[in-house]
Structure 1
């Protein structure tokens, strides 16, 4: 049972911003934003042809500066947001804007031979509106309401968590509510994630080594995990199928899993990375599969079956006793143990992002700072363990 070889795509510039095209339900697509100091930055729309194992690309100019974060609208595949550096009054600020991909720029409708990385051929993204962050500090990320209609978003900035109404905006998005981070010293948010459960009313944020849960209806904290990591928390993700479970990663080289109803200690801790862990992502279809990426240049796929919605034996309840006996006689099955599934080492620089495809549950992309994007898959042996 031989696994498919990884597909490697090289960008012309350095990059750290990666996102799947969420609203696309049929084609495997990812968005990548570049970080060039000297040239006009770009957004690459990458269309993966699974049958032929190749990537088709369409490149758009992003003239506003280096892209630090990119996200895709859940309802409209042609709408995206970026957080980017911009020089204002001789100072660098990180701002955010809402963009539209030109409607006739679908890579699946074009001849791959005429697609070119050169900015002389690339079209510019169309700016729809901007997020006014003058009183909030640098923008870190824009988070869309999960499974929403594309009209609500939350911004994480240095010192504020803010809700935005996109539908009623014109050239500038409008803040519907916000809250400032108040703590000792001068704390700054480092990460945030919208909880897909509880009717989309909760968001989790990280600042320093602390994780905070926020109720968006009151903009007040609903839980706090002090000293979640020994150093800065870099990223967060919610289990898509278990409403109280949250994953975090940080500069202490660890990945931790939490039940937010009892935050005294993590329910599981992974220590497979040897440097800062920049991203953690649950598989949206099989939440025992967890993807992490790190400054150690590695992407790691882990099985966290013991705290997933699919623990060993979860199908037994659906079978009658005779079926159980017959299954036991024919095919004895061992419980799946937590642990490392695979380590992917195609990168040579810090891997700042790793994202699952929203279309194919067995495929993911990872992006390192040198501009190398790699498409990889869950090992077939692991896939069949889950399916059979």
Structure 2
């Protein structure tokens, strides 16, 4: 059933991170990380699933996270039971395995703390509660838990860990669940507070650091308040990556352990990508050499990594405070999400610099307008705006449905949204 109506669920606990279960291409399943420092019982990984037949988001499990409040989490692209988590102020990234009973690829069974019920009955009960409370569902994080996390290995550093990422590999559907060998050597990167990027090999069921490279010199280590560095793989060049640090973005090559140079031998780094600091970086998944950044200046900018002297486009007017995260649609790069500490999440259509510009639109490389509510026939425009009660630190696209995405506010209220049908048809037709 296709709908444009959002579905909501409240976890009743602070939350700053969400990731789609990337290895599950059959069901829209997501992992959310609780981050309540005083109450350790609220530091959990919540497994939620979308039921399209009744347009409801249901909770499959709430698993205690023993290493503390979750700052970041990233699901494996090849195994639906594996997830990397980063606890606040921790010197290690931990690889956990989720219970198979929770992550089994079936919509017939759903697990709670005491019983196993059919998904239809479970979703029907949620649908009834929607009629009673049209705003959102509520879940008491201390009331139930399903299974336990299995700690597999810790990726440790001498300095505080700041970020990690998993290389997006093609999934082999013939691989049995829980098969670590489906990963290629060195497909995990971590970034620590000393500016070191480490490449890790997890293919043999253990963590082996292949080598480390520096993301900058000592003059670039000072960070603006509220600015957390990020590291991301280049999906088109397997050995290359981008690291944001303060106001700069640096491009590195793992083969040479040095920065990438242009045709004239000069570094391709962006020394002033955003006025006050860069908060997030994401590569266009379909078009090489195209990068999006968000910043403390509240804007989203788009870059050609072959010429980084100035952005090729700027999206203004979407946020009145920090633009915290930016995320390309992994299937259709005309679509992009941005979230902010102003409690706003935006869905942008960026057609003119995509891999497949919309033919019905005037595809000129014009900047995003300040007035994002202009005609929907513009090639680059904000097509949806979602407001929450608190800061929206994270959003993610579904791995099973190209037209679905989830946002999560700091108060634990998550919302699952659909790309407007008119935008879907503009891209497909």
TM-superposed CA distance for 1:145, in Å, is 1.4
Q: How does 1:90-105 map to 2 (within 5 A)?
A: 92-105=89-102
- Say how many residue pairs are matched: 357
- Per the TM alignment, residue 211 of structure 1 is displaced from its structure 2 partner at its CA by 0.5
Q: How large is the Cα RMSD of the aligned pairs?
A: 2.2
Pairwise CA distance, 1:62: 0.7
| Partner Cα distance (1:103, 1:112) in 2 | 11
Aligned partner of 2:421 in structure 1 is 380
Give me the whole-angstrom Cα distance separating, in 2, the residues matched to 1:166 and 1:350.
34
Q: Is the 8 A contact 1:10 1:373 kept in 2?
A: yes
Q: Which range moved further: 52-61 or 371-380? A: 52-61
Asked if structure 1 preserves the Cα contact closer than 8 Å seen for 2:102 and 2:110, the reply is no
Which residue is equivalent to 1:128? 152
Matches of 1:6 and 1:335, distance apart in 2: 24
Deviations 1:66-106 (A, max 9, x none): 00000011111100000003xxxxxx534310000111223
Q: Distance in 2 between matches of 1:118 and 1:185?
A: 43
Check the 8 A contact 2:220/2:245 in 1, yes or no: no
Change (3 A) 1:185 1:191: closer
1:53 and 2:55 correspond: yes
Residues 3 and 52 of structure 1, relative CA distance in 2, 3 Å threshold: closer
Normalising by structure 2, report the TM-score. Answer: 0.79
Residue in structure 2 matched with residue 201 of structure 1 by the alignment: 239
**Alpha-carbon distance in 2 for matches of 1:236, 1:294:** 14
Q: Which residue of 2 aligns with 1:33?
A: 33
CA distance in 2, matches of 1:161, 1:193: 11
Of 330, 348, 351, the residue aligned with 1:302 is 348
TM superposition score normalised by structure 1? 0.87
Counterpart pick for 1:269 among 292, 314, 318: 314
Counterpart secondary structure, 2:427: helix
SS in 2 for 1:184: helix
Instruction: Deviation per CA, 1:181-227: give whole Å up to 9, x if none.
Output: 313163466112111112x1111110000001111112211120110
CA contact (8 A) 2:327 2:336 kept: yes
Q: 1:341 aligns with which of 363, 383, 391?
A: 383
Q: Does structure 2 retain, via aligned residues, the 8 Å contact 1:61–1:122?
A: no
Asked if residue 190 in structure 1 is aligned to residue 192 in structure 2, the reply is no
CA separation in 1, counterparts of 2:236 and 2:13?
37
Report whether the alignment pairs 1:150 with 2:172: no
Q: Which runs of 5+ in 1 are unaligned?
A: 86-91, 316-333
- 8 Å contact from structure 2 (residues 46, 62) kept in 1: yes
Task: Report the Cα offset of residue 313 of structure 1.
Answer: 3.1
Deviation, 1:262, is 0.6
Deviations 1:27-54 (Å, cap 9, x if unpaired)?
0011101001222311011111112111
* Rounded Cα–Cα distance in structure 2 between residues aligned with 1:256 and 1:263: 11
Query: Does 106-115 or 304-313 show the bigger shift?
Result: 106-115
Query: In structure 1, what is the Cα distance between the partners aligned to 2:359 and 2:424?
Result: 17
Residue 362 of structure 1: how far off its partner (Å): 0.8
Distance in 2, matches of 1:299 and 1:182, equals: 34
- Cα drift, residue 111 of structure 1: 3.9
> Which residue in 2 is equivalent to 1:328?
none
Partners of 2:412 and 2:301 lie apart in 1 by 28
